Structure 1
Amino acid sequence: MASSSSSINMIPHTKYDVFLSFRGKDIRHNFISHLNAALCRKKIVTFIDDKLKTEDEISPSLSSAIEGSKISIVIFSEGYASSRWCLNELVKILEIKNKYGQIVVPVFYRVDPSDVRNQTGTFGDSFSELEERFKEKIDMLQTWRIAMREAANLSGFDSHSIRSESVLIEGIVNDILKKLNDLFPSDSKDQLVGVESIIKQIESLLLTGSTEFNTVGIWGIGGIGKTTIASAIYSNISSHFEGSYFIQNIREESEKPASGLASFRRELLSTLLDDGNMKIDIPKIGLNFERRRLSRMKVLIVFDDVTCIQQIELLIGGLDRLDCFMPGSRIIITTRDTQLLKNLPGSHVGHVFEVKELSYDDSLTLFSRNAFGQNHPAAGYLELSDIVIKYVNGVPLALKVLGRHLFGRSEEEWESALKKLSRIPHMDIQKVLKVSYDGLDDEEQNIFLDIACFFKGQYRDFVMNFLDACGFSTKIGVRVLVDKSLVTISGNMITMHDLLQEMGREIVRQESIKDPGKVDCGIMKTSIKF
C-alpha cells in the first residue's frame, strides 16, 4: 500500500481528513456517533453521510468526498454486507487507495475479520441476502468479494479484542492522529537539521519514562533551536495525552503592559479541560473544581521561552500545583537560563538537555535549504557559503535568517552583504541574541561586555582576578553569564560564541556613537577606537 505523503498529496481536491464508511441502520446512533464526536474533538475534519442510503448507487458528491479524504475508516458491522450502497462505497474507497495511496483503516465492529474476509458467519449471512438479489450479476458479486477480502487483510481494529467501546474509540482516534501527523508533518520539518537525535532522545524519555509526573528542560543560547525542537516533540507526541497545550513566547507576553499571561492561563485550562466557557480570576486559579478535574488528566504542556519561575507560577497557580496533574503528565520548559530549571521543586526536576551548535555539514545543509531551496549550495556559491557557515558557527536561527536574506541574490550582492556583516551584525539575529543581555543587571552587563571586548579565550583565573580588582563581584557574575548561555568555561578558559562576542562589540559600538571615538566598557574606563 502506498501511504507516503507524496502519494497522499496526489489526491485531487483534498478536503477531509477522514471519510467514515458504515451501515447507518446498524451503528449510526451509537458507535459511529461517538467515534465521529471523538474525532471532531481532536479537530479532525470528517465526512459522515447523515442521509439514509435508499439508492443503490453512490452519488457523485459522495464519490467526490471519498476522493477528497486523506484516510477512510471502514466500519464493518453485521449488516454491512447486506447493503449494495456500502459495498459500492468500499469498492470506491479501495480504488482511491490503489490509485492515490489513500490510507484505509478497517474496524471490525462485533464481527470477526475472518468472516469479512471469507463472507462467513453472521456477516456472511448478510452478504447471502445480497447474493440472492444479484445472482445474475456475477461480475459485480465477485468485485464485492475481492473488495471485502482486500479490506479485511489491512491492519485495523477488532472490537472483540477491545471490549470497552470507549477504549476502542480512543485507540482509533490516536491511530488516526499519528497517521495524519506522519502524512502531513510540521511545515518546519525541513528545518530540523542536526537535531533529530535530541528530538528522538527526549521523545523516548517522555513516552517510555516514569509513570510519575516529570519535567524536561531544553536549554541553550538564543536562536539555537529550542522552540523548534519543542514544537517538533509536541507535534509528535501530543496525541498520547488526554490534554495538551503549547504556550509560546511567554517572555514576550509577560513584558506587555497588560500581561497576556492571564489570558494564556484561561486558554490553557480551557483547552486542557475542553471547556470554552471558562472564566478564571487571577486570585482564584486552582482553588476550585478545575484543579480537581485536572488531577484526573494526563497532560502535556510546553512552556516556551521562560525567563523566570514566576511566569510558570502565574500560569498554573504555583509550583506546588505541578502535583495537580495526573501521574504520567509531562511538562517541557525551554529557557536560556539553566538556573531557572534548578529552581524547580526537587521532586519535579527531570532531565535538562543543552542544545549545542550544529556541525559544519548540518549547518551547510540547513543554510542551503534556505539560501538555495536544496541541500547543497548552487554552483559558484560554495566558497561564499563557506564564509557564512564559519561566521554563524552553528546557530540555526542565524543560518535561516542569512539564508533567506541571500536567497536569489547574485554573487556580487552576496559579497557586498558579507562585507557588511563583517562590520554590522544582521539586525534580526542581533535582536534575538540581545534578549539574554537585556535580562542582566548593570554589573553583569559590564562583565559580559568586558569579556566580549577583551577577555574571550583568556584563562579563567586571570579574568576573575582582573575583574575582581576592578570592583566586580566576578564569581557570581560569571556564573550568571554561564547559566544564561552567554559565556562558557572550557578547559579553564573563558569563551563565548562568536555571534555573542559580535553582539557585545556592537552594543559597545552603538554606545560609542553617542560619544564619538570613545566608550566606557564596564568600569575599566578603557577607550576603544572605532
Structure 2
Amino acid sequence: MASSSSSSLITLPSKKYDVFISFRGADIRDGFLSHLREALRQNEANTFVDEKLDRGEEISSSLLEIIEESYFSLVILSENYAYSPWCLEELVKILECKKDMEQMVLPVFYCIDPTHVQELTGSFGAALAKHREVFNNSLDKVESWCQALREIAGIAGLVSHNIKPDSELIKEIDKHISEKLNDVFPSHSFDEGLVGIDSRVKDAQSLLCLESTRVLGIWGMGGTGKTTIAEKLFDRISDQFNRRCFAANVREKFEKYGPDLCRKEILFQVLGRESCNLGLPTRRRLSREKVLIALDDVSDSDQIERSIGKPAIYGPGSKFIITSRDKQLLRNMEAQIYEVEKLNDCESSCLFRFHAFKQDIAGKDYMVFVREGR
C-alpha cells in the first residue's frame, strides 16, 4: 500500500484546506454563508472560514499560514469589505499566493458594482481615504491595498446583481470551485497507487467509532501508509465534529520550530482564534467542544502533551487519531491500536502492476510472467 508520500500523481503539494473564504461578515445576508459552506461540504470541499476570529488591525500569522495552506481562495467583495484592514491584508496575501503558489482565486462582487472596486470609487474610495488618515505613517501599506483591490477586480468573477436569487449565486460559486478543484485532482488520481487503502480505512474507522474509543492509534513502520489512512479517515468523519484539526508531521515540526508553534497552530484551527497556551480559560472552552484532532507522525508523548494537552480535557464525543511508529507510546495513551496490515498477495500484485506498467494489467500472460520471475 502506498503511503502519503506516494501520491505523486497530484501535481500540487498537499495542503490542509480546499477553500479559504475572505469576507466582511456584517455585509453578508443571513444564511448566505452557511448555505454556501453546506454546498461546498456536500461536494467534500474542506473549507476554512475565519468568522470567529477577533478582527484587529493586525492580521495573525496563523491566518496567513492558513491562506498558504489552501488550494483556492474565494473573495466575497461587499459594500464595507475595504473598511476592514484585516480583510485587505487577507486579500494581499491571497494575491501573493496566486502569484507565487498558483493558488486559484474567485472574486464575488456581492451587492456592489465591480467598477467601484476597479476604480476605487464609492465605498471603496471612501474606505481607502479613511485608511490614509489612520495609517498616515505607513502609506505604502495603504497603496498595497489599493493595488490588491485593482488586481482582484481584474480577475474574472461572479456579480450577484447578475445572478439572482442568492441560491443561484451559491450554485454558481460551488460549480466553479468544484470544477477548478477537479482539474487539480482528477477523480481517479486519489485512488491510483493506493492499493488496499479503503479496506484499511474502514477497519480503522470501525475501531474509532467504538463508544469506548477516545484515542485511535495507527501503528506501523515507515512507508506502510499510516498517514494516508489517517488523512482519509479524518476526511470521512470530520463533518461529525464541531471543531477539527489535522496536524501533519508533528515530530518534524517539533524538531524545527518547537512546541509553541505546533500548539498555536492546533488551537487556532480548533478554536478559530489566536491562543498560545492551555491555561484554564482555554481548557474551559475546550471542555465544551466536540473535537476531532489528528496528530501525524508522533514519536514522543511530550509532543502530544505540549500540543493538545490531555485528551480528557476535551468535550464529550471528542476523538483523537495519532499515527506513530512507537507502539508503546500508543499504549501509554490508552489508545485503541490499529496495526496497519501488510499487503496480501493480490494487493501486492496490483501495486506491482501499477508501478511497473502504469496501469492495471491482468490476465494469463501476466500471471505467468510474475510467477516465473521473468
Structure 1 residues 224, 90: closer, same or farther in 2, change over 3 A? closer
Partner of 1:6: none
Structure 1 distance, partners of 2:283, 2:244, is 16
Q: TM-score, normalised by structure 1?
A: 0.38
Structure with greater contact order relative to length (CA < 8 Å, sep ≥ 6): 2
Cα displacement (A) at 1:240: 2.3
Partner of 1:491: none
Structure 1 residues 269, 185: closer, same or farther in 2, change over 3 A? farther
Residue 243 of structure 1 contacts residue 298 of structure 1 at CA under 8 Å; is this kept in 2? yes
Residue 207 of structure 2 contacts residue 216 of structure 2 at CA under 8 Å; is this kept in 1? no
Partner of 1:338: 327
Residue 215 of structure 1 contacts residue 332 of structure 1 at CA under 8 Å; is this kept in 2? yes
Partner of 1:365: 350
Structure 1 residues 86, 235: closer, same or farther in 2, change over 3 A? same
Structure 1 residues 186, 325: closer, same or farther in 2, change over 3 A? farther
Partner of 1:86: 164
Q: TM-score, normalised by structure 2?
A: 0.52
Cα displacement (A) at 1:230: 1.0
Structure 1 residues 184, 240: closer, same or farther in 2, change over 3 A? farther
2:361 equivalent to 1:376: yes
Structure 1 distance, partners of 2:224, 2:48, is 36
Q: Letter of the aligned partner of 1:271 in structure 2?
A: Q
Matching of residues 85-124 of structure 1 within 5 Å? 86=164
Structure 2 distance, partners of 1:312, 1:379, is 51
Structure 2 distance, partners of 1:382, 1:229, is 29
Structure 1 residues 209, 381: closer, same or farther in 2, change over 3 A? closer
Structure 2 distance, partners of 1:262, 1:385, is 52
Cα displacement (A) at 1:362: 0.9
**Identity across the alignment (%):** 30
Which residue of 301, 317, 339 corresponds with 1:309? 301
Cα displacement (A) at 1:214: 0.6
CA RMSD of aligned residues (A): 4.6
Structure 2 distance, partners of 1:380, 1:192, is 24
Structure 1 residues 185, 341: closer, same or farther in 2, change over 3 A? farther
Partner of 1:300: 292
Q: Letter of the aligned partner of 1:329 in structure 2?
A: S
Which residue of 256, 263, 266 corresponds with 2:264? 266
Residue 218 of structure 2 contacts residue 324 of structure 2 at CA under 8 Å; is this kept in 1? yes
Q: Secondary structure at the match of 2:304?
A: helix
Structure 1 residues 259, 296: closer, same or farther in 2, change over 3 A? same
Q: Letter of the aligned partner of 2:341 in structure 1?
A: K
Residue 251 of structure 2 contacts residue 297 of structure 2 at CA under 8 Å; is this kept in 1? yes
Structure 2 distance, partners of 1:366, 1:294, is 43
Matching of residues 450-529 of structure 1 within 5 Å? none
The superposition leaves residues 260-292 of structure 1 with CA deviations (integer Å, 9 ceiling, x where unpaired) of 3332122111111112x43x2xxxx32242222
Cα displacement (A) at 1:311: 2.1
Partner of 1:455: none
Structure 1 residues 357, 34: closer, same or farther in 2, change over 3 A? closer
The superposition leaves residues 17-46 of structure 1 with CA deviations (integer Å, 9 ceiling, x where unpaired) of 79xxxxxxxx96322255558865187755
Partner of 1:323: 312
The superposition leaves residues 181-201 of structure 1 with CA deviations (integer Å, 9 ceiling, x where unpaired) of xx9769543233123222123
Structure 1 distance, partners of 2:188, 2:266, is 22
Q: Secondary structure at the match of 2:164?
A: helix
Residue 108 of structure 2 contacts residue 157 of structure 2 at CA under 8 Å; is this kept in 1? no
Partner of 1:240: 240
Q: Secondary structure at the match of 2:192?
A: helix
Partner of 1:351: 336
Structure 2 distance, partners of 1:241, 1:310, is 26
Q: Secondary structure at the match of 2:297?
A: strand
Residue 217 of structure 1 contacts residue 352 of structure 1 at CA under 8 Å; is this kept in 2? yes
Structure 1 residues 366, 291: closer, same or farther in 2, change over 3 A? same
Partner of 2:193: 191
Partner of 1:41: 49
Cα displacement (A) at 1:238: 1.9
Gapped regions of structure 1 (runs ≥ 5): 1-15, 19-26, 54-60, 67-73, 75-82, 104-175, 389-414, 416-530
Structure 2 distance, partners of 1:387, 1:334, is 38
Structure 1 distance, partners of 2:296, 2:218, is 9
Residue 220 of structure 2 contacts residue 324 of structure 2 at CA under 8 Å; is this kept in 1? yes
The superposition leaves residues 333-387 of structure 1 with CA deviations (integer Å, 9 ceiling, x where unpaired) of 122232222212xxxx342111121111111212222332211279987677668
The superposition leaves residues 294-331 of structure 1 with CA deviations (integer Å, 9 ceiling, x where unpaired) of 222211112222223222122223xxx21111111111
Cα displacement (A) at 1:232: 1.3
Structure 2 distance, partners of 1:363, 1:307, is 29
Structure 1 distance, partners of 2:28, 2:253, is 46
Q: Secondary structure at the match of 2:358?
A: coil
Structure 1 distance, partners of 2:285, 2:330, is 27
Structure 1 residues 17, 261: closer, same or farther in 2, change over 3 A? closer
Cα displacement (A) at 1:229: 0.9
Structure 1 distance, partners of 2:257, 2:300, is 14
**How many pairs does the alignment contain?**
246
Q: Secondary structure at the match of 1:374?
A: coil
The superposition leaves residues 396-441 of structure 1 with CA deviations (integer Å, 9 ceiling, x where unpaired) of xxxxxxxxxxxxxxxxxxx9xxxxxxxxxxxxxxxxxxxxxxxxxx
Residue 213 of structure 1 contacts residue 326 of structure 1 at CA under 8 Å; is this kept in 2? no
Residue 200 of structure 2 contacts residue 341 of structure 2 at CA under 8 Å; is this kept in 1? no
Gapped regions of structure 2 (runs ≥ 5): 1-17, 21-26, 39-46, 51-69, 75-106, 114-152
Structure 2 distance, partners of 1:40, 1:337, is 32
Structure 1 residues 193, 373: closer, same or farther in 2, change over 3 A? same
Q: Letter of the aligned partner of 1:228 in structure 2?
A: T
